[in-house]
Structure 1
């Protein structure tokens, strides 16, 4: 049953990826108790292999659950997928454990998802590391002064302003959807296959997910009224220049093979240092090509190994005898999952004629 069915409320799961930070989780759960949204909500804490499992309060206005996966590196993408699979719902609200949502956060997000597929909230920043759950409650209910706000990342604000809060999006606007304050319908999540679990390490999985949402035709918006506070500064404000450069380099190494955006890939300082492209920007599918074997070999050899264009050879009765296929050349047809990630697909039968001289040599 879809969220739009008359006579029933949409079911809601709030998914919180977690790793060894009980104090942050306590602050988030305290803020969730103050949400103005009415109706049943499930909170699922997705433990990414913590040494000490998360502890949940004995009583709550919500149903509280945990799921657990082994510690095999930073696997927030897999943890979120695990939570969604264990506790499916019509609407999926992803909140990182170090976020503190304001009381109206959930109501704003849920209302927007009645007519949109994906929304991203406003992430503000403050030093909340020494704040107790009770102090969080006093602040959010107006009984204590708010924290001093830290400088937010300018690039996000500029991106939202330039796109009219994502109403005027283009093929690069996926960069402004961040998983710390992301929500979407289960229908869209299922359509694109959820988070890509190949992302291991900090960052990148939200851009990949958002890019696939864009290709699937998602209707999305930035919601400045859906405010959640991040404990601490943005990444650029927490690390020195060398540390930040290392983190960003690792993100690029994960994203470059998997994110089919030529603009993003051209930003890389040393494109030759990155692994071959696993997800191309263009798929060319040749259906039953009536080409001699040496012509097929010439076609394959002419492609840049693992570049922006990948070739699928749907040879049917023909056999490939040209030796090992280079990266970016495949036999058969791309799978539906592969096709869902590729911006441009060219599919058809190829008729090729070899040039031959007319007449004899005089």
Structure 2
């Protein structure tokens, strides 16, 4: 596994600020914060409570820096970065490409049209193109250099070639099918004021298609590259566990040898998880946007989804349970299994299981001199159980659909349950995007996407002889934090 260096021990600089994230709630008269992913109750010491008098905290010294870092790392706050950071003249853009000259020309045009990136150095890494002259012509211009691999070595190796050639403090990786929107780099660069931040990623949106295909509306609405509208830390086994390498801004010193060139897929996930494991911070900021030329051919789109699925096996070999397709607590799993398969006695036992889980959680949440908050605990247990039900239902139609199909062949009850789950999953996922794509097309595309991804997942696990990419995991430690 490619190593990354340890982060420096420097604190956040003065002027750096954090604000409570949307969804974070104050409890116990402001002495505790409920939020983050996984959801946790963060209790504030009296001094910390005094420092965080409102919803925003500005770093003015070691004490506020330590509190701001704690709020960021638990996910209950989002940054408003300020302080010393590289400028655009200290950024190198690396573009890995193979046989996509028109895309490179379009990308370079977008960079030169944006005043903030008009003068950045650009390294185009030709990963064994069949027509290198055409790519060199498309990449001609002041400040653009073409580095060539005589044979294709994969996107990870191409990015590493650009990384080694860069001499600036920051490196921006942009795929050749991307078009950054004006101002994207100005939004991302201030994040590097955090000395422990290794990578920050923009939101990857859909580039308007010149010729729309059957899948275009669905892919525009729910692309696998689009991490959504909310800023967040990127941490394994949480609500945002990775960011795609289609567009990244990185601190060059944090990357070490860079991407694992032995991985032809999921190398971006691997890099993020190695950085997180070494203690670096990785963030996602959707205020910066980069458009991506999504596939319009249904066959190409399904092939890409299957390819993504094959990446789980090498990730499991490197990172174990971090790649688990299902993350669910034993309490929720037991309650759902009892309710689903035990008839009336099972439902009674399920209720009892949740009651015990509620009592245990209430005892953990009880503050000094305060009664156990059974109402809050019950709400959190119910919320977690509903989320677990959705996670398991999703896995039944996506990650583990071969098992679902096998059960449906031999059991009428399983067929009915699978059909109900598939319909419910499609409706719930479609509803937020109902203005952008019709329900029938959305449902059909979602089922096809899940079939392709699941097929790739199982093929990769079988080829590797390693089932860990198919196995569930427990959530990371959450609950009360101090």
Secondary structure of 1:261's match?
Answer: helix
- How far, CA to CA, are the matches of 1:265 and 1:43 in structure 2? 37
The CA deviation at 1:239 is 3.7
1:171-320 equivalence runs, <5 A = 171-172=237-238, 175-190=241-256, 193-200=257-264, 203-233=265-295, 239=300, 241=302, 243=303, 246-264=306-324, 269=458, 273-275=462-464
**Aligned partner (choices 118, 123, 136) of residue 44 of structure 1:** 123
Which runs of 5 or more structure 2 residues have no equivalent in the other structure?
A: 1-7, 14-82, 212-216, 327-398, 400-456, 477-482
Q: Deviations over 1:242-289 (max 9, x none)?
A: x35642443334433234335437765478724367xx99xxxxxxxx
Q: Which residue matches 2:220?
A: 151
Secondary structure of 1:93's match?
Answer: strand
**Aligned partner (choices 159, 166, 182) of residue 103 of structure 1:** 182
8 Å Cα contact 1:160/1:166 also seen in 2: no
Q: 1:117 to 1:173 in 2, by over 3 A?
A: farther
- How far, CA to CA, are the matches of 2:138 and 2:305 in structure 1? 39
- How far, CA to CA, are the matches of 1:50 and 1:67 in structure 2? 11
* 1:112 and 2:191 are equivalent in the alignment: yes
TM-score w.r.t. length of structure 2: 0.45
Q: Which has the higher helix share?
A: 2
- How far, CA to CA, are the matches of 2:86 and 2:183 in structure 1? 22
Secondary structure of 2:200's match?
Answer: strand
Q: 1:210 to 1:58 in 2, by over 3 A?
A: closer
Count of aligned pairs between the two proteins = 252
TM-score w.r.t. length of structure 1: 0.58
Aligned CA RMSD, in angstroms, stands at 3.9
Q: Which residue matches 2:148?
A: 68
Which runs of 5 or more structure 1 residues have no equivalent in the other structure?
A: 131-147, 282-306, 308-342, 344-362
Q: 1:260 to 1:234 in 2, by over 3 A?
A: farther
8 Å Cα contact 2:107/2:177 also seen in 1: yes
Q: Which residue matches 2:136?
A: 55
